[in-house]
Amino acid sequence: MNPTPIILDCDPGHDDALAIILAAYNPAIDLRGITTVSGNGGIDKVTQNALRVCALAKIQVPVAQGSGVSLMGFADAATDIHGASALDGAPLPEPTFELSKESGVELIARLVEESVEPITLVATGPLTNIALFLKLYPQLISKIAHIVFMGGSAGRGNRSPYAEFNIWMDPEAAEVVLHSGLPLTMCGLDVTHEALVTTEVFAEIQKLDTHLSTTVVGLLHFFREKYYEVFEMPDPPLHDPVAIAVLIDPTVVTSKFVNVEVELEGVHTRGATVVDIFNRTHRTPNTTVALSLDAPKFWALMTDAIEKAGLA
């Protein structure tokens, strides 16, 4: 089977960094480009991080900087989880290539336009760039095969009691994506909180004993400490690579096709995804929502990519 061509829109971020590595080092994925969006850190930081992760893992794809604020102009960062650089915990090499001169949405538009096959967009940050792309280039929407996003939750949130961080950062962009009419897959906290970096996982990665695996372990140790501080979770959830894993092997998750809406107002719940699992609203289903994860299968894919990247 031909690899799935994707563009990865991300805000690295520890788990984004691992999503980049999985996308670049699994043969089922054809990573065409990377765009950045402010989220886990400010736009300059996450863009630098994307370039540094590419340098670390010897990845050579166009990287373009996207939006520094949400659609409505909001900016924030998750320094409590990702640290001051948005990717604290291990030294990373300097970038080995230049940032694209195009903006994030322009790069997405060009890559989609140039592609013979339809492109899948994978978003592991706030959905600002994706929403802007859909609004700016409606004539290219027919060339999008699928949008997979890490974000939302059918249950509780993590940035606020009921809102997950990526959707909370830009609820209006999520609204645009959810109403795009395109095939959508949501990998929310329901499934990413099962992608836990356990002691056994640490041991597996450590065993690879490459420069890259050692760096990854350093990054994930920082991530683990922060997750314990903030959420009292002994093992941190590696959210973002799940959105890549479902494209490599859909059986990594079990999911349900249901209606998902996003709360745009809400005194206490702005940015919450309202996931109608039992079709109580009779709204038209628009999203395939991943609800549980085959963790061993997921980790087999992830550690395989870390191994391959370390040997590259």
- Does residue 56 contact residue 87 with C-beta atoms inside 8 Å? no
- Does residue 36 contact residue 65 with C-beta atoms inside 8 Å? yes
Going by C-alpha positions, the residue among 148, 166, 153, 228 that lies closest to residue 193 is 153
For the question of residue 239 being annotated catalytic, the response is yes
d(CA 17, CA 180) in angstroms, rounded, equals: 27
- Name the residue nearer to another protein (CB basis): 137 or 223: 137
Nearby residues of 81 by Cβ (< 8 Å), 6 or more positions away: 14, 40, 223, 226, 227, 230
The minimum distance between CB 237 and another protein, in angstroms, equals: 30
- Name the residue nearer to another protein (CB basis): 133 or 165: 133
Dihedral sign computed on CA atoms, order 33, 38, 39, 44: positive
- Does residue 69 contact residue 11 with C-beta atoms inside 8 Å? no
- Which one-letter DSSP state was computed for residue 213? H
Phi-psi region of 232 (alpha: psi -120 to 50; beta: other; left: phi over 0): left
- Name the residue nearer to another protein (CB basis): 137 or 162: 137
- Name the residue nearer to another protein (CB basis): 68 or 285: 68
d(CA 14, CA 88) in angstroms, rounded, equals: 8
Indicate which residue of 146, 211, 239, 268 is catalytic.
239
CB neighbours of residue 2 within 10 Å: 7
- Name the residue nearer to another protein (CB basis): 4 or 259: 259
- Does residue 244 contact residue 252 with C-beta atoms inside 8 Å? no
Contact footprint for another protein (CB under 8 A): 67-69, 71-73, 103, 105, 128, 132, 135-138, 172, 175-176, 264-265
- Name the residue nearer to another protein (CB basis): 66 or 83: 66
> Where would I find the beta strands (DSSP E) of 205-252?
none
d(CA 1, CA 300) in angstroms, rounded, equals: 20
- Does residue 123 contact residue 146 with C-beta atoms inside 8 Å? no
CA–CA distances in Å: residue 195 to residues 68, 184, 290: 29, 21, 12
Residues assigned a catalytic role: 239
